[in-house]
Copies of this chain bind each other. A is one copy, B any other.
Amino acid sequence: MTMISPGSTDSAARVRGKARSTSLTRLTDCLHCPIRPTSLCSVLDRDDLAAFESLGQNATFAPRSVLFMEGALANAIYNVTAGLARLFRLLPDGRRQIVGFALPGDFLGVPRDSVYSFSADAAVPTAACRFPRQSFVAFANERPHVLRRLADSAERALGLAHEQMMLLGPRRAEAKVAAFILGIRERWAGLHGASMHVPLPMSRQDISDYLGLSIATVSRTLHRLADEKLILIVPKGVRILDPQRLERTAEA
């Protein structure tokens, strides 16, 4: 698990090292974001869309730069449009648990109370639409179908969280890693269509913090799967060679 500076009051920028952010441009590609089943855009009519557009700003984030920090005042909501965001919480001793990855189309930071309950930063160059919380909430409150979408989106996130819990539990490293690959593949499929090639833009460290394993075990396990010809390890990803056996490994 990642060891992060033990002092706990410091900001993510310092904690995770040099966070060289970020350009802010006017939003347009928010609307060009991949439309997923849970996407907000798909339930907005033309007028709403125009109003919605005027709320947000498009922002880009360099790797490791922070979208928001656990415990900070939640004054914005994000919709990832490109790249990959890591959602994580820090333990008091500085270790990091990744509680999810946000792919394009995912909403972030819709908070019950006014404080973020986890942190988010960019795993790779990432773009996201940023909506001021106040106006976003006001916008949603006027539109029941948007509220429904938000509830749906939260339920979807909950389902993903449950899926991850199944991985974090007492399962063998092989099963965790195999299931991880298949899970990520599934999620990319919603964007790019299904493929044997599974991009893994995140680092080994990220994967291990996601699965509750050490970085060494993740590396070893990937290579064991490769030795057994279930996958092929390629730069920034894997190629699935034997879907069925991989599936069976994931379930064990």
Residues on A facing B (Cβ under 8 Å)? 1, 38, 89, 91-93, 97, 99, 110-112, 117-118, 141, 144, 147-148, 150-152, 154-159, 161-162, 164-166, 168-171, 212-214, 251-252
Contacts and interface: CB of A to CB of B under 8 A. Distances in A.
A170 B92 contact: no
A91 B159 contact: no
Contacts of A38: 112
Contact of A252 (B93, B111, B118): B93
Contacts of A147: 144, 147-148, 151
Contact of A158 (B148, B161, B168): B161
A97 B152 contact: no
B165 A164 contact: yes
Contact of A1 (B152, B154, B170, B251): B170
A194 to B, nearest CB: 19
30 contacts: A1-B169, A1-B170, A38-B112, A89-B162, A91-B166, A91-B171, A91-B251, A92-B251, A97-B165, A97-B166, A99-B162, A110-B151, A112-B152, A112-B159, A117-B159, A141-B144, A144-B147, A147-B147, A147-B151, A154-B158, A157-B158, A158-B158, A158-B161, A161-B161, A161-B162, A164-B165, A168-B168, A168-B169, A168-B212, A169-B212
A105 to B, nearest CB: 15
Contacts of A1: 169-170
Nearest to A151: B151
In the A-B complex, the 4 residue pairs with the smallest Cβ-Cβ separation, listed nearest first, are A154-B154, A168-B168, A161-B161, A147-B147
Contacts of A165: 97, 99, 161, 164-165, 168
Nearest to A90: B166
Nearest to A143: B144
Given A144-B147, A151-B147, A169-B168, A156 B91 contact: no
Contacts of A93: 251-252
A150 B149 CA distance: 11
A88 to B, nearest CB: 10
Given A110-B155, A148-B147, A151-B110, A89 B164 contact: no
